Amino acid sequence: MGRVVDRDELKRERERARAEGRTVVFTNGCFDILHRGHTHYLARAGDLGDLLVVGVNTDRSVRDLKGPGRPIVPEGDRAAVLAALASVDLVCLFDEPTPYELIAFLQPDVLVKGAGYTRETIVGADVVEEHGGRVVAVEALEGRSTRSIIATILELERGGA
């Protein structure tokens, strides 16, 4: 089981992993309503190295990105659920609009995002590649998204089937 850590602990864990010759993998997201698409994605990301670090947007950051109705699940709960997944080793919250600062701080060996992103649109790709790391886009499961889950809930609330 993984752990939710602050940046100081993240730095210690990164240094320990590097000293042991382990590959540090980083990905990030809001992970507002955890679903099968997320678990598939995180398992694939975890397969790319030895230590999977997941950056999670704070509540304020999610509101700025997704609007005033989000997040649905508070940051502490989102982080704890992610840390409980077998594929996730460390979870670290970030409050900035993008994970760029966290990526620059961590300097992972592998940066992972979903296949909907291109090398040019992956935040922090430049930092990772400058340090000899690689950037990987992982295929998503079709039809699995937080947006579609919320739409289904709203439709059911309106009396739809």
* Domains in the chain, number: 1
What CATH number is given to the structural domain containing 84? 3.40.50.620
List per-residue pLDDT tens for the chain, 161 residues long: 899 999 999 999 999 999 999 999 999 999 988 888 889 999 999 999 999 999 999 999 999 999 998 899 999 999 999 999 999 999 999 999 999 999 999 999 999 998 788 888 999 999 999 999 999 999 876 666 667 677 767 777 788 65
pLDDT at residue number 146: 66
pLDDT at residue number 114: 85
* Spatial separation of the C-alpha atoms in residues 57 and 96, rounded to whole Å: 8
Helices (H), 5-145: 7-19, 36-46, 59-66, 75-83, 100-106, 125-130
pLDDT at residue number 144: 64
- Note whether 130 and 155 are within 8 A (CB): no
* Spatial separation of the C-alpha atoms in residues 153 and 13, rounded to whole Å: 39
Neighbours of 153 (CB within 10 A): 12
pLDDT at residue number 51: 98
Alpha-carbon dihedral sign for residues 157, 64, 51, 43: positive
Q: Which domain holds residue 22?
A: 3-157
pLDDT at residue number 141: 67
Distances (CA, A) of 21 to 14, 24, 132, 134, 155: 11, 9, 15, 16, 50
